[in-house]
């Protein structure tokens, strides 16, 4: 039975959620059966001159954009604020300035409307996206193997239940998306780097440039991309203002992209050995939009006779739909465990919020046990 078929009839619905953990300002309204009532996302453009996200600029942009974004989302849903059942917001991990802006907006609405406020772990939201109705053919029943690849995260996680996650491995230096951004900068491409590198790589030969595959073949499923990034830098001319011919740049981009894919597939093979038979292989995060990586993951899943689930591209990057759904899954799981719906007004946003702490939500009132 799909998770949405088990929704207790008295869960607050619909849920409005706010996402502001990095440089995307997002708001969504989602019903407890998973129906997306309305969603609005604004991608900030003020970071382009700096080649990366500037936290202070991001926080100020969230502050300027959120009130209108909330109004626009309510207008799309043709709803009044009082019709909302609960308010949720990403409260970590992420850039603390943006998290504070989004959480305070959500808390203010919850207090004004006398509705519960649910603090959502951003990584947990990515982890549960595959359980949204229509994303995975079988609803992604537990336990499943999650590969989270984004600008700030690269992890293999055994998703064993709502609130129950086991980190199998993660990056020991750069995240995959961070490596894409840095390689794009080396090649003189735009930001964000992932789409720019992928576009250039289509013109190149992925076997043209010999690049290392750090940690490949070693035990465990940790990742390392720093050495790969350095190897790319060593392939570039050292003379100031020396531009690579386009074909050479395309070959480097294609070879780098292939190296990342090879590393990820190798690490996933080890992750499979570290958990009992998963029901599904799930990929989430912004780098999951990369076509070469998706194709490799799909082939990997087929070789291991595993269903493969990847959210639509707009739900791979940071978004508020996943935040609302994580809040709904949390409310449902607590209700089924005989626990009250949480009200996290007193919970402070955190730049780091380990997934391991989420199990506490399934055993006690979170305000009694969580900082």
Is 283 annotated as ligand-binding? Answer: no
Is 177 annotated among the ligand-binding residues? no
| Per-residue exposure over 57-80, b if at least 16 CB sit within 10 Å of its own CB, e if not | ebbbbbbebbeebbeebbeebebe
Name every residue whose Cβ is closer than 8 Å to that of residue 367 and which is 6 or more positions away in sequence.
Answer: 342, 343, 344, 346, 347
Backbone angles phi, psi at 125, to 5 degrees: -60, -45
337 vs 207, which has greater pLDDT? Answer: 207
Sheet containing 15-19: give its strands across. 36-43, 24-30, 15-19, 86-92, 117-121
Query: What's CA 73's distance to the chain center, in Å?
Result: 21
**Domain extents for the chain?**
3-129+316-369, 142-310
Contact 114, 87 (CB under 8 A): no
Whether the model clears a pTM of 0.85, i.e. scores above it, the answer is yes
More confident residue, 316 or 207: 207
Burial of 1 (0-12, 13-18, 19+ CB in 10 A): exposed
329 labeled binding residue = no
Q: Is the pLDDT of residue 5 over 90?
A: no
Structure confidence by residue, pLDDT tens digits, 182-239: 999 999 998 788 999 999 999 999 999 999 999 999 999 999 999 999 999 999 887 5
Residue 47 marked ligand-binding = no
Is 83 annotated to bind a ligand? Reply is: no
| pLDDT given for residue 242 in this prediction | 60
173 annotated as belonging to a binding site for a ligand:
no
Residue 132, both tokens: 């949204």
Q: What is the 3-state secondary structure (H, E, C) of 278-294?
A: CCCEEEECHHHHCHHHH
In this structure, what are the phi and psi dihedrals at residue 297, rounded to the nearest 5 degrees?
A: -65, -40
Q: Is residue 21 part of an annotated ligand binding site? A: no
Average pLDDT of span 330-357: 92
Helices (H), 147-238: 176-186, 193-201, 226-234
User: Fold match between 3-129+316-369 and 142-310?
Assistant: yes
Query: Which range (87-91, 94-98, 315-319) has the least confidence?
Result: 315-319
Asked if 138 and 336 touch (Cβ cutoff 8 Å), the reply is: no
Pairing mode of beta strands 281-284, 308-309 = parallel
Superfamily of domain 142-310: ATPase, nucleotide binding domain (3.30.420.40)
pLDDT averaged over every residue in the chain: 91
The mean pLDDT value for 293-320 works out to 93
* pLDDT for the residue numbered 114: 97
Q: What is the CATH number of domain 3-129+316-369?
A: 3.30.420.40
- pLDDT tens track for 145-193: 999 998 778 999 999 999 999 999 999 998 998 999 999 999 999 878 8
CA-to-CA dists, residue 224 to 2, 54, 178, angstroms: 36, 24, 11
152 is in an annotated binding site: yes
């Amino acid at each position: 039975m799909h998770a949405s078929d088990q929704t207790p009839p008295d869960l607050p619905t619909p849920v409005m959620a706010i996402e502001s953990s990095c440089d995307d300002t997002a708001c969504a309204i989602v019903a407890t059966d998973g129906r997306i009532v309305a969603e609005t996302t604004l991608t900030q453009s003020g970071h382009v001159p700096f080649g990366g996200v500037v936290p202070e600029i991001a926080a100020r942009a969230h502050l300027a954009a959120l009130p209108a974004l909330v109004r626009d989302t309510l207008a799309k849903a043709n709803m009044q604020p009082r019709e909302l059942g609960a308010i949720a917001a990403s409260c970590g991990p992420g850039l603390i300035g943006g998290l504070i802006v989004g959480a305070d907006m959500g808390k203010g609405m919850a207090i004004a409307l006398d509705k519960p406020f649910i603090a959502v772990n951003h990584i947990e939201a990515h982890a549960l996206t595959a359980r949204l109705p229509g994303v995975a053919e079988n609803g992604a029943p537990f336990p499943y193997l999650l590969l989270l690849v984004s600008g700030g995260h690269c992890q293999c996680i055994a998703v064993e239940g709502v609130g129950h996650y086991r980190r199998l491995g993660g990056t020991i230096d750069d995240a995959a998306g961070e490596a894409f951004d840095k390689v794009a900068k080396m090649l003189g491409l735009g930001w964000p780097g992932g789409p720019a590198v992928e576009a250039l790589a289509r013109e190149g030969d992925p076997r043209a440039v010999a690049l290392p595959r750090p940690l490949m073949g070693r035990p465990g499923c940790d990742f390392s991309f720093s050495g790969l990034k350095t190897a790319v830098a060593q392939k570039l001319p050292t003379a100031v203002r020396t531009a690579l011919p386009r074909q050479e740049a395309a070959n480097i981009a294609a070879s780098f992209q292939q190296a990342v894919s090879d590393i990820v597939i190798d690490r996933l093979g080890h992750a499979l050995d570290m958990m009992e038979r998963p029901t599904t292989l799930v990929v989430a995060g912004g780098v999951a939009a990369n076509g070469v990586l998706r194709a490799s993951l799909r082939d990997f899943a087929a070789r291991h006779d595993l269903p493969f689930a990847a959210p639509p591209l707009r739900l791979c990057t940071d978004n508020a739909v996943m935040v609302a759904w994580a809040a709904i899954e949390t409310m449902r799981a607590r209700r089924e465990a005989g626990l009250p719906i949480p009200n996290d007004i007193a919970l402070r946003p955190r730049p780091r919020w380990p997934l391991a702490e989420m199990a506490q939500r399934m055993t006690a009132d979170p305000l009694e046990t969580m900082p």
